[in-house]
């Protein structure tokens, strides 16, 4: 049986467009707001990433740090994250949802226990920022057994030799980090150059779904639409920050932003 992540990519390919992948932090700024945002934006987005916040993130920029901080201040725990996923999946069973975060939370909860909760709530994939290849091999295997995609990351610094190995061991989706940056950095490489790198990676194993993330906004998304998928995260976190500041409803604001993003890649 094909995973819902693979099915989502297949659908986008038929429509000759990249998959739109969104990222928000679970519990930013409350559990209900997160759930409502996910429900709302899932009309436009193809795959949803949901961050489980950590207070010492070593690869996130200011926007996602801010979102994580708000969520933790509101007392968000892993069990709440799973509850959000569960409730969302109940309404949208075929929409893929990917959890993203740092390894210490999994380490403390225990790998098996964490994966059991992923399975129970309906998580489709995992991105673990600080568990690189090959250290992630055994955990990735455990994910596969539970039909959860472990999403490998590639960076501009990753050597070709290493890329081949990582791609060979990858599951339904691979994430290419567009540039040397934390999340939410300004795009410091031209979209042309990013696509050049992207195509080189793609040619290693063309059938693998390869998405691009980091530095993607409403201004840059159109220029990258040849990719299999595009991830937008910090822009959404920033939108939540601003709507809280302006006392506006983050749910309707996000809906608008994601709708506009989608229109740019159609």
Partner 1 sequence: MSLKIRKGVPLIDQHDKNFMYGGKFGGNFIPETLKKPIDDLTQLFSKLRKNKSFIKERDYYFRTYIGTPTPFIKLENLTDQLGGAQIYAKVVSEANGGAHKIYNATVHCLIAKKAGKKYIVGDTGAGYAGKMLSMAAKKFGLKCKIFMGAKDIKRQRPNVEAIKKNGAQIVPVTTGSQTLVDAVSECMRYWVSNCDRVHNCIGSTVGPNIFVKICAWSTAQISRELVNQVILEFGKIPKKLKLINCVGGGSSAAGFWNEFMETDAEFIGVEAGGPKNSKLHAAPLTNGSKIGILHGAAQYVIQDKEGQIGSTESISAGLDYPGISPLHCFLKDSKRAKYTSVSDEDALKAYKLVSKLENISPSLEPSHAFAEAIRLAPKLKSSEVIIVNSCGDSLKDKDIIKQRLGYYIR
Which residue is catalytic, options 28, 46, 60, 80? 60
CA distance 48 to 231: 9
49 an active-site residue? yes
Least gap, CB of 176 to partner 1 (angstroms): 10
Q: What angle do CA 198, 200, 203 make, to 5 degrees?
A: 105
User: Which residue, 102 or 150, has its beta carbon nearer to partner 1?
Assistant: 102
Residues that bind partner 1 (CB under 8 A): 54-61, 65, 69, 72, 77-78, 102-105, 107-109, 129-133, 135, 153-159, 162, 177, 180-182, 185
User: Which residue, 158 or 220, has its beta carbon nearer to partner 1?
Assistant: 158
Residue 259 vs residues 40, 42, 95, 218, 251: alpha-carbon distances, Å? 10, 10, 17, 11, 12
CA distance 17 to 32: 31
Query: Which of 30, 20, 76, 32 lies closest to 53 in space, CA to CA?
Result: 76
Least gap, CB of 163 to partner 1 (angstroms): 10
User: Which residue, 7 or 204, has its beta carbon nearer to partner 1?
Assistant: 204
Least gap, CB of 110 to partner 1 (angstroms): 11
Query: Which of 27, 22, 28, 29 lies closest to 8 in space, CA to CA?
Result: 22
User: Which residue, 4 or 27, has its beta carbon nearer to partner 1?
Assistant: 27
111 an active-site residue? no
Which residue is catalytic, options 28, 46, 49, 80? 49
Q: Active-site residues: which are they? A: 49, 60
């Amino acid at each position: 049986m094909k995973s819902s992540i693979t099915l989502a990519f297949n659908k986008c390919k038929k429509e000759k467009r990249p998959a739109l992948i969104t990222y928000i932090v679970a519990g930013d700024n409350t559990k209900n707001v997160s759930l409502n945002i996910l429900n709302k934006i899932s009309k436009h987005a193809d795959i949803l990433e949901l961050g489980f916040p950590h207070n010492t993130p070593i690869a996130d920029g200011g926007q996602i740090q801010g979102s994580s901080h708000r969520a933790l201040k509101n007392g968000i725990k892993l069990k709440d994250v799973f509850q959000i996923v569960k409730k969302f999946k109940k309404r949208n069973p075929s929409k893929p949802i990917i959890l993203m975060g740092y390894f210490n939370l999994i380490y403390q909860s225990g790998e098996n226990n964490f994966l059991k909760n992923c399975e129970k709530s309906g998580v489709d994939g995992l991105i673990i920022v600080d568990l690189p290849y090959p250290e992630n091999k055994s955990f990735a295997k455990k994910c596969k057994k539970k039909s959860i995609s472990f999403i490998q990351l590639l960076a501009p610094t990753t050597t070709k030799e290493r890329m081949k190995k990582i791609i060979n061991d990858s599951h339904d989706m691979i994430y290419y980090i567009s540039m040397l940056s934390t999340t939410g950095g300004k795009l410091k490489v031209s979209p042309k150059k990013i696509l050049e790198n992207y195509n080189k990676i793609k040619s290693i194993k063309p059938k693998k779904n390869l998405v691009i993330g980091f530095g993607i906004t409403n201004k840059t998304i159109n220029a990258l639409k040849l990719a299999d998928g595009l991830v937008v995260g910090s822009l959404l976190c920033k939108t939540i920050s601003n709507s809280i500041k302006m006392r506006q409803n983050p749910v309707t604001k996000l809906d608008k932003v994601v709708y506009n993003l989608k229109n740019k890649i159609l």
